[in-house]
Structure formats: structure tokens, C-alpha cells
Amino acid sequence: EAGVTQFPSHSVIEKGQTVTLRCDPISGHDNLYWYRRVMGKEIKFLLHFVKESKQDESGMPNNRFLAERTGGTYSTLKVQPAELEDSGVYFCASRPGTGNTGELFFGEGSRLTVL
Amino acid sequence: QQQVKQSPQSLIVQKGGISIINCAYENTAFDYFPWYQQFPGKGPALLIAIRPDVSEKKEGRFTISFNKSAKQFSLHIMDSQPGDSATYFCAASKGTYKYIFGTGTRLKVLA
């Protein structure tokens, strides 16, 4: 079974440009999360989808960040326009809807560098 | 109240030694405390987790000790091996698994 996949693995953009990160969760996982780790700091929650609905987006930094999960499958996280402080590693994680132990399955992350 | 404080930031242990990483939390509503292990270039992966109704959980060489009254929990790695060298994150959550992570501990086990 394929794990959580994220694309791109690394993106380098100029301040003011737009970047879109994509996450493909494990097939059948209703719950999808986005997290971010800025260098040396904690892995911080951004938002949580249940199927295609945003369950909790309290961690989104500001309105330059837009997450979507059309059809309840893959998700995208768009940053527009990017700022220097947006640099970090963006992790996607998923878990099943029911009958699980609470384990989140993480992707390998998308490293974003804003110059 | 939403923070999870993790220490130390980095740790160097000799092969065969015991690695100990500590975490403290404030929110007494948390009811799930996992530890995640992350190797370079990989995503975090669940190592071991505990709920507050038990004080200790052991899986192989990895043990979580949980002190509810002190609001602290720790990870002990017995007989540490070079292959254990990784970054370890503690976390806490309630309900929908909106994890609050610690800042991570970079462990290096010397051969």
C-alpha cells in the first residue's frame, strides 16, 4: 500500500511568487492534515480535512494560505504571495476515519525556501 | 496552555547506553501522547504512544513513562543503537488528533 506522498519535495521561489504543494493521502483515509516545521521549531498544525470539508483551520497563518481537498482525495496547499517567513517543511498526514489508534501517517514533506 | 515543552534539544549517547527525552504539557484535557521518530529526509513515523490511564508502556527497547500529576512524560531508549540516531518528537492531543508537538530532540548514538 502506498504511503502519503507529497510533491514537490523541494521548492525554491522568490518572495512574492506563488507555490502550490500537493498531498496524496493513503487511499481511503478520510482525515488529512497539514503541518509545518520552521527550522528548529515544533511541527505546527495548520489544518484538518475530513473528506472534502475543513474540520479545523485554526492553524493557518493568514489569508495568503489556501488549502483545498476537492472530492475528498488529494489536497493542495497554495501560498500566494509567498513571504520569507513561509520557509519551512510542510508535512501532510492522513489517518482513517474510524477504527484507528490515533496514529497519523506522515509524508516525507515539501521543503519550501522563499528567497 | 497549548504548548508541549521538550528537552533536551540534542543528545549524544554511547552505543548501549540509555537515551532519555523529556516532555511537559499544561493542558490537562490532553488524552493521547505519542512519540514520533524522524530520520533525515523522511516524514515522522509513530514510535510508541500512551494514554493517561497507564503510567508506563514498553515496546521492545522503547518505554514511555507518564506522570499525570506532574504533567510530564518521557521516552527511554534502552541499549541505544546507532540506527536509533534520528530526531524524536513528543506530542499531545485530544479528540481529533490535532497534535501539539514538542520542538524535537536530535539524538546521535555513537558506535
User: What residues contact residue A9 under an 8 Å CB cut-off, 6+ apart?
Assistant: A108, A109, A110, A111
Lowest mean pLDDT among A72-76, A99-103, A104-108, B52-56: A99-103
- pLDDT, residue A14, reads 97
Q: In chain B, which residues have pLDDT < 70?
A: 1, 96
For B98, the closest of A42, A45, A108 (CB atoms) is A45
The whole-chain average pLDDT of chain A stands at 93
The pLDDT of residue A100 is 60
**CA-based nearest residue in chain A for residue B48:** A103
Contact B43 A55 (CB under 8 A): no
Largest CA distance in chain B: 41
Task: Please tell me if residue B42 touches chain A, with a CB cutoff of 8 Å.
Answer: yes
CA A75, CA A47: separation in Å to the nearest integer? 11
Residue A101 has pLDDT above 70, yes or no: no
Q: In chain B, which residues have their Cβ closer than 8 Å to the Cβ of A42?
A: 4, 89, 100-104
Name the residue of chain B whose CA is nearest to A89's CA. Answer: B43
Which chain A positions have a beta carbon within 8 Å of B99's beta carbon? 35, 43, 45, 104
Contacts of B103 in chain A (CB under 8 A): 40-42
Per-residue pLDDT tens over the stretch A1-19: 689 999 999 999 999 999 9
Residue B25 contacts residue B50 (beta carbons within 8 Å): no
CA-to-CA distance for A61 and B44, rounded, in angstroms? 22
pLDDT at A102 over 90: no
User: Would you call A45 an interface residue with chain B, using a CB distance cutoff of 8 Å?
Assistant: yes
